[in-house]
Homo-oligomer: A and B are copies of this chain.
Amino acid sequence: MYSFANDYSEGAHPRILAALMETNLEQNAGYSLDAHTEHAIEQIRQEIRCPRADVHILVGGTQTNTLAISSALRPHQAVIAAATGHINVHETGAIEACGHKVLTAEAPDGKLTPDRIRPILARHTDEHMVQPKMVYISNSTEIGTQYAKAELEALSQFCRRNGLYLFLDGARIGAALTSASNDLTMADFAALTDAFYIGGTKNGALFGEALVIINDALKQDFRFLIKQHGAMLAKGWLLGIQFEELFRDHLFYDLAAHANEMAVRLRAALIARGYTFAYPPQTNQLFPVFSNDEILLLEKNFLFHPDQAVDDSHTSIRLVTSWATTDESIDAFIRALDELKKASA
Q: Which residues of A contact B (CB under 8 A)?
A: 2-3, 5-6, 8-12, 14, 17, 20-21, 23-30, 59-67, 70-71, 74-76, 78, 89-94, 96-102, 127-131, 201-202, 206-207, 221, 223-235, 238, 303, 324
Interface centre among A224, A226, A232, A233 (most CB of B within 10 A): A224
B8:A27 contact, CB within 8 angstroms: no
| This chain: copies in complex | 4
Pick the 3 closest A-B CB pairs, nearest first. A63-B230, A76-B224, A11-B24
Knowing A75-B228, A221-B74, A230-B229 touch, does A235 contact B11 (C-beta < 8 A)? yes
A60:B96 contact, CB within 8 angstroms: no
B97:A75 contact, CB within 8 angstroms: yes
A76:B221 contact, CB within 8 angstroms: yes
Partner of A28, one of B9, B67, B128, B226: B9
B100:A224 contact, CB within 8 angstroms: no
Partner of A76, one of B14, B26, B228: B228
A128:B11 contact, CB within 8 angstroms: no
Closest to A241 in B: B11
A27: B residues at CB distance < 8 A: 2-3, 9-10, 303
Knowing A59-B233, A225-B76, A234-B60 touch, does A21 contact B10 (C-beta < 8 A)? no
Partner of A128, one of B6, B66, B76, B90: B90
17 A-B pairs whose Cβ atoms sit less than 8 Å apart in the complex? A11-B23, A14-B24, A20-B206, A59-B59, A59-B233, A63-B231, A65-B230, A71-B75, A76-B228, A92-B227, A94-B229, A96-B96, A96-B100, A131-B221, A131-B224, A206-B235, A207-B233
Knowing A11-B235, A238-B207 touch, does A60 contact B230 (C-beta < 8 A)? yes
B127:A224 contact, CB within 8 angstroms: yes
